[in-house]
Amino acid sequence: VGRRDASELHVVLLAGGSGTRFWPLSRSARPKQFVALAGPRPLVVDTWQRVRRLAPPSRIWVVAPARHAGRLRRLLPQLRQDRLVVEPLPRDTAPAVVLACEAVAARAPGSVTAIFPTDHVIRDPGSFEQSVRTAVAAAAQGGLVCLGIRPDHPATGYGYLDCAEPPSRRRAVAVRRFVEKPDAASARRFLRSGRHVWNAGMFVWRVDRFLAEAERVAPEVVLPVREHRKGRRGAWARARRVSIDYAVMERARDVRVVALDAGWDDVGSWDAACRLRVAAGDAGAPHLLLDSPGSAVFGSGGGRVVALVDLPGVAVVDTPDALLVVPRGSAQRVKEVVAELERRRRKDLL
């Protein structure tokens, strides 16, 4: 335990999940992390490159359902077969994180492990690395460390971490409490306080410390996962379907936070994807956008030319079997489109 293991950081990437917010480019069989939302490559590939600054392939683990294995191997040729941890069924993040940490602990019980989603954008990988190094040092001393995003607007769509003092990139500070998605007035107060950061679902801890805390506060997750690892059929399905935040982090001892100011974006909708594309000066070559500022074209690379005229702030999403055109301000309504396709029993498009 301690310095040596801690310098050997392990990384766990969470590549499960599914969603409807990026239809038609993302589908039930191809969730958001497999889509090139913010740049030319799928988000999971950007994530892999980013964490390669932190660890060699031998210490990078990916948790995902079996149906993503082929795609992960194609996209991440450096991913080692024995570092792919298969979730038998989706059970939210807590069982997946516990499963991966048990796998890491079996090889390197005292090691520090960092947990990252694979469907976020981080524009400044250098700053990201710096925050992670700070978090690793704090984790080596026993803390369960969250990376917290300093808010730049009073978002009501994220959970917040209320810290004992203003968080920093250079040292970990104690978390006082987890706050669920706040109302607008609370969000404005949090923004002014300087003590609140967004919970981005990125964690760094010693696996032994984490598993001990998890077993204490969430045995309904940990025990079925351990039985599953022993080969007990049906055990996985008994693990509680719950998020890692709710199941463990909100109840754990010695939870700390390190600030992350690295151009983080969780790319929550086509609106956000357009914002990122436009900011990157990439509205989608070779397309032809005539007086359509703030618009962007997303496609599966079929080589079609899209011409957009006098349509500012619109997302065009072009796939072989479905096309979406939506103003950025209406991006949330994509789920209504998906619901309508479900009503029409168009499983082929979902």
Contact 45, 75 (CB under 8 A): yes
Which helix (DSSP H) or strand (DSSP E) does residue 43 occupy?
A: helix 43-51
Smaller CB separation from a copy of itself, 240 or 333: 333
Q: Which stretch binds a copy of itself (CB under 8 A): 6-14, 34-42, 120-128, 340-348?
A: 340-348
Q: Label the pairing between strands 173-179 and 160-163.
A: antiparallel
Find the shortest distance in angstroms from Cβ 311 to a copy of itself: 6
From residue 227, give the alpha-carbon distance in Å to each of 91, 180, 234, 237, 239. 15, 31, 9, 11, 10
Q: If binding is defined by CB under 8 A, does position 312 make contact with a copy of itself?
A: no
From 24, 39, 212, 217, residue interacting with a copy of itself (rule: CB under 8 A): 24
Those residues whose C-beta lies under 8 Å from the C-beta of residue 63, and which sit 6 or more positions away, are 12, 13, 14, 15, 16, 85, 86, 87, 96, 97, 99, 100
Nearest C-alpha neighbor of 283 from the set 321, 335, 332, 328: 328
Q: Which stretch binds a copy of itself (CB under 8 A): 111-119, 126-134, 204-212, 317-325?
A: 317-325
Torsion of CA 142, 242, 96, 108, to 10 degrees: 20
Find the shortest distance in angstroms from Cβ 307 to a copy of itself: 5
From 197, 239, 276, 314, residue interacting with a copy of itself (rule: CB under 8 A): 314
Q: If binding is defined by CB under 8 A, does position 66 make contact with a copy of itself?
A: no
**Beta bridge mates, 206:** 112
From 336, 345, 347, 350, residue interacting with a copy of itself (rule: CB under 8 A): 336
Q: If binding is defined by CB under 8 A, does position 73 make contact with a copy of itself?
A: no
278: which 2 tokens? Answer: 């436009």
Q: If binding is defined by CB under 8 A, does position 322 make contact with a copy of itself?
A: yes
121: which 2 tokens? Answer: 């954008």
Q: If binding is defined by CB under 8 A, does position 342 make contact with a copy of itself?
A: no
Exposed (0-12), middle (13-18) or buried (19+): which is 88, by Cβ within 10 Å? middle
Those residues whose C-beta lies under 8 Å from the C-beta of residue 322, and which sit 6 or more positions away, are 23, 24, 349
From 56, 109, 166, 320, residue interacting with a copy of itself (rule: CB under 8 A): 320
From 306, 313, 345, 347, residue interacting with a copy of itself (rule: CB under 8 A): 306
Smaller CB separation from a copy of itself, 106 or 323: 323
Smaller CB separation from a copy of itself, 24 or 201: 24
Find the shortest distance in angstroms from Cβ 32 to a copy of itself: 18
Smaller CB separation from a copy of itself, 23 or 160: 23
Q: If binding is defined by CB under 8 A, does position 285 make contact with a copy of itself?
A: no
Which helix (DSSP H) or strand (DSSP E) does residue 222 occupy?
A: helix 219-229
From 70, 309, 345, 347, residue interacting with a copy of itself (rule: CB under 8 A): 309
337: which 2 tokens? Answer: 């489109």
Query: What is the contact surface with a copy of itself in residues (CB under 8 A)?
Result: 24, 288, 290, 303-311, 314, 316, 318, 320-327, 329-330, 333-334, 336-337, 340-341, 346, 349
